[in-house]
Structure 1
């Protein structure tokens, strides 16, 4: 009888500890997310004006300035569109987004997120063209690349806008779903169709950008290694050798790509998990929003401090 009583009292204790840990986790996510939104937005605003400042001073913008300005705008829109549902849930809980508002916010988020990936891919490709040795096949690309950065970044926006239309249409408001799901989502927008289909459709263009970023990043690493081996004997007598600007800029781009891929992979686990189990979790949605806001927040600081 004593053993049964002890076992019976242990179950509520474990359940109580689980609730405490869950509450602490929810508070941590609710605290970290607004901080990321505010800090990330300020960093992207600074990054944008830092890269467009040559225009204000009458100087000529470098190609990287153009790419980073587009990246800063896309990052800001990602943070803004991600933060709106959370602001509505936290401060205006009784007024959830309508279906049209859900579609609009989700559309902006998809466009900005895809443009962020595309701009990072353009930056990686441009840095590769600058780093690649001169030759008959690369001379034309190296000459046209600086002039093409603006149109290519504009193409990123157009491509993202067109591709995201089909996905954002199937978003629905929590007002239009059943009571159980509304209680679970508590004001968050959801998909009106299969989550698995949305996840795969969402990831289709990402694979193309990932392949291109992986190829350019791997090629840059090989070029840096070969360059280091060639000039190593020149600097053997110098104890304090500083990396040239080209190498530092390439390292910055590689760090940016690695940071993007890391947070993207972590954030992609959650949609695939929900797609596999055919269900939503409020806590997972919040964690996904935090992970989705990490790169738009961390990336600008990396670019500001190292300035490729």
Structure 2
């Protein structure tokens, strides 16, 4: 095994393990707060589904990619290839959709009471579950294309009739069908990419106007802390900015993969790294912005460290 492959494999492994631990910690903390009877926001349900989607993506994309880079390429059957590609695509799409929902619902939550969004502020909590459910259904249906084409790598298929990836290949592609598939698969991502900057810009405007309105109060009380709503808004703005930045980078690699007849391994590695990065980073961004969750995770980490030291 080349030293470059080993280094890249360790990068994938670290990214995957850290991301799974972060999402598991965030999900467990959120569930504990829910069971303890704490007052939850309408966005907390979206965050829980975001962590599930991230975990699915990391397990079904990060783990196989790590094994392939380390030299274990032939470990899936046809059914395994179909399942792995389908689940990781659904997880990826749901992760992006959940981030978009977070931006929209937070923009509605912090809107002034006298704005046009006042009526939506009352209705938003009732439609949170429905919105998340519809996102799952949309991603499950859109990505049904992958099980139809994914197979295990074989040497008896003409190279012009398949697209090889690290551990699986896509066979039976026609150029016209492939173009339609690319457009169909890109539509939810492009929709999210259009909605999130709008919601983020609106939240920045609201925060700026709020700061200008109460600037004299802050000047009299320099030690005053920002409200939980403001901290949550800033956290989601950071998360949305991370999403947009990584998506634009990932999208360029995805386009290259889509138009390439036989994509190179370097291109696949770069695409996988940028895709996995968001699912691995997002839980830490959310935990840092939520004081209750961050304190609970810190307590758990100290307890875990103490147990490891005493055993």
Alignment match, 1:75: 54
Alignment match, 2:289: 306
**Contact 1:263–1:291 under 8 Å retained in 2:** yes
Change over 3 Å in CA distance of 1:160–1:275 after alignment to 2? closer
Matched, 1:219 2:202: yes
- CA positional deviation for 1:180: 6.8
Alignment match, 2:136: 157
Equivalent of 1:232 in 206, 215, 218: 215
**Contact 2:22–2:284 under 8 Å retained in 1:** yes
Change over 3 Å in CA distance of 1:227–1:136 after alignment to 2? closer
Matched, 1:101 2:84: no
The gaps in structure 2 that reach 5 residues or longer are 292-311
Alignment match, 2:279: 296
Alignment TM-score, normalising by the size of structure 1 = 0.83
Please list, as runs of the form range in 1=range in 2, the aligned pairs for 1:110-149 lying within 5 A after superposition: 110-135=89-114, 137-149=116-128
SS of 1:294's equivalent?
Answer: helix
Bigger Rg over Cα: 1
- CA positional deviation for 1:197: 4.8
Q: Give CA deviations for 1:137-172 in whole Å, capped at 9, x if unaligned.
A: 423210111222122112211111111112442223
Could you tell which deviates more after superposition, 275-284 or 73-82? Answer: 275-284
Equivalent of 1:187 in 148, 167, 171: 167
Change over 3 Å in CA distance of 1:87–1:227 after alignment to 2? closer
Alignment match, 1:37: 16
Alignment match, 2:263: 280
**Contact 2:68–2:166 under 8 Å retained in 1:** yes
Q: Give CA deviations for 1:229-270 in whole Å, capped at 9, x if unaligned.
A: 222233234444432222111110000001111111111111
Q: Give CA deviations for 1:156-191 in whole Å, capped at 9, x if unaligned.
A: 111111111124422232126648799x75534346
**Contact 1:96–1:188 under 8 Å retained in 2:** no
Alignment TM-score, normalising by the size of structure 2 = 0.82
- CA positional deviation for 1:119: 0.8
In the alignment, the residues of structure 1 paired with residue 25 and residue 69 of structure 2 have an alpha-carbon distance, to the nearest angstrom, of: 28
Change over 3 Å in CA distance of 1:266–1:27 after alignment to 2? farther
Matched, 1:255 2:238: yes
In the alignment, the residues of structure 2 paired with residue 92 and residue 26 of structure 1 have an alpha-carbon distance, to the nearest angstrom, of: 8
SS of 1:298's equivalent?
Answer: helix
SS of 1:284's equivalent?
Answer: helix
In the alignment, the residues of structure 2 paired with residue 235 and residue 92 of structure 1 have an alpha-carbon distance, to the nearest angstrom, of: 58
SS of 1:169's equivalent?
Answer: helix
**Contact 1:267–1:292 under 8 Å retained in 2:** yes
**Contact 2:12–2:66 under 8 Å retained in 1:** no
In the alignment, the residues of structure 1 paired with residue 190 and residue 41 of structure 2 have an alpha-carbon distance, to the nearest angstrom, of: 29
Matched, 1:47 2:26: yes
The gaps in structure 1 that reach 5 residues or longer are 1-22
In the alignment, the residues of structure 1 paired with residue 53 and residue 284 of structure 2 have an alpha-carbon distance, to the nearest angstrom, of: 15
Q: Give CA deviations for 1:252-300 in whole Å, capped at 9, x if unaligned.
A: 0000001111111111111212334432111221221121111111110
**Contact 2:5–2:70 under 8 Å retained in 1:** no
Q: Give CA deviations for 1:41-82 in whole Å, capped at 9, x if unaligned.
A: 011011111111134324454322211110000000010110
Change over 3 Å in CA distance of 1:34–1:138 after alignment to 2? same
The list of structure 1 runs, each at least 4 consecutive aligned residues, that deviate by more than 6 angstroms after superposition, is 179-182
Change over 3 Å in CA distance of 1:24–1:227 after alignment to 2? farther
